[in-house]
Amino acid sequence: MKYLFFSSDNNSGSGAFRALVKLVSDIKKMENTEVFVLLPYGGSGTKMLKEAKIDYEIYFTFSWIKHDYFNPIDYLLYPFNKLNNYLKEKSITKFVKSFNPDLIIINTSYHYLGAKIALKLNIPYIRHIREFLNEDQKKTYYNFKYAISLYNKAKKVICVSKGLYYKYKPFINNKILTYVYDGVNTIKFYNPNKVLFLDKTIHFINVGRIKHEKGQFLIIKALDELKNQFDFDLTFVGYVRNSYKNKLLRHAKNIKNRIKFVGQVDNVTDYYKKSDVFIMSSLSEAFGLVTVEAMLNGLAIIASDSLGTKEIVESDENGYLFEVNNYQSLKNKVIELITDKEKAKRKALHGQIRALHNFNSIFNSETLFKIYKENKK
């Protein structure tokens, strides 16, 4: 069986891309399969593909997504991007014909050429949806009606959470729409020997892209008001523009010396090991791969009660949920955590068990592989 994956990015820091690499790696080991990944541009993700010995090719293409507010660059570049995709479609179609896959899989909602080519060549395709777009990325489709038409021609549309499933349920044929939670590599991230709060300083961490929609400013504002109540430090792991980093630090009036930005790293597990509390502060999150990674590492979790995140973190059982976009609510949860560290430890252990049983990559890959097999030509 041959499976061809269309990726919408090539970024080792992207949760969607990391999920793709792990999924493809697992599928390679299942039965007699051949897999190939098509990338839209060069980037840091190619290193991951090489390390996993996954074959890939790069065809420089653009997505069908724009900002959900007026951005003149979107409209200035649109005709050129569309022309580029039209020209590249011919060469990609030629490659797809030669590879002759049994199924085409499109990894996120950002990509559309894979669906067009699949229809042209009468190859079944499956679409994954991993983002809300408007709610979590301030993005939308150039042509929503056309996007939905391509979704409805897929064999299956697989959302990464219930929240996404219910968003698209009014628009996509419910017979082909489903959801499967992402899975995390338990071998890499599970840390059964984690011990929290080993010293008097509490070590907070946030992992992922650093931008307004991810809510890191809430963490800084909350901790700044707690500067005199206990010892702590805060580490941000993920790509950030210097201009936005400086903007964030303006919120950190009194705790600048306690904050560290380490950028995008390959050894994120090293930072989880050094930390006690993971804070997921996104204003909206479709799922939250890094939240599961932190849970598997045995960290205490404080998270915003956005749709995807609250499907992972159950406040009474395995974490602390605060009101979205409310730094005072976040501050109160931090106070609750530091007031009863033993309770926080119990919640962290329950979270680790939950992540291990419900969000592991083996279960995810086996579930998706079964769907793929059922819908191949």
pLDDT exceeds 90 at position 251: no
- Spatial distance between the Cα atoms of 47 and 21, rounded to a whole number of angstroms: 11
Does the pLDDT of residue 118 top 90, yes or no? yes
Same domain as 222, residue 80: no
Least confident of 92-96, 229-233, 306-310: 306-310
- Residue 258 and residue 110 share a domain: no
- 162 plus 238 within the same structural domain: no
Claim to verify: residue 168 and residue 197 sit in the same structural domain: no
Q: Are 205 and 157 part of one and the same domain? A: no
For 186-211, the pLDDT digits (tens) are 999 999 999 999 999 999 999 999 99
**Helix and strand totals (H; E) in the chain:** 17, 15
The CATH number assigned to the domain holding 137 equals 3.40.50.2000
Contact present, 28 and 35 (Cβ < 8 Å): yes
Q: Which domain holds residue 318?
A: 186-358
pLDDT digits (tens, 9 = 90+) for 338-359: 999 999 999 999 999 999 999 9
The predicted-structure confidence for 257-275, as pLDDT tens digits, reads as follows: 999 999 999 899 999 999 9
This prediction has a pTM of 0.92
Q: What's the mean per-residue pLDDT of the chain?
A: 95
How confident is the model at residue 27, as a pLDDT?
93
Residues 146 and 230 occupy one common structural domain: no
Q: Rounded distance, CA 250 to CA 6, Å?
A: 40
Residues 236 and 148 in one domain: no
Same structural domain for residues 223 and 321?
Answer: yes
Which secondary-structure segment (H or E) carries 47?
A: helix 45-51
157 and 196 belong to one structural domain: no
Is 268 in the same domain as 364? no
131-151 CB burial, b ≥16 within 10 A, e <16? bbbebbbbbbbbeeeebbebb
Co-location of 191 and 302 in the same domain: yes
Per the structure, the count of domains in the chain is: 2
Predicted confidence at residue 30, as pLDDT, reads: 87
**CB count in 10 Å sphere of residue 53:** 8
Q: Mean of the pLDDT values across residues 102-127?
A: 97
User: What percentage of the chain reaches a pLDDT higher than 90?
Assistant: 90
Same domain, 90 and 220: no
Tell me the C-alpha distance between 4 and 107, whole Å.
Answer: 10
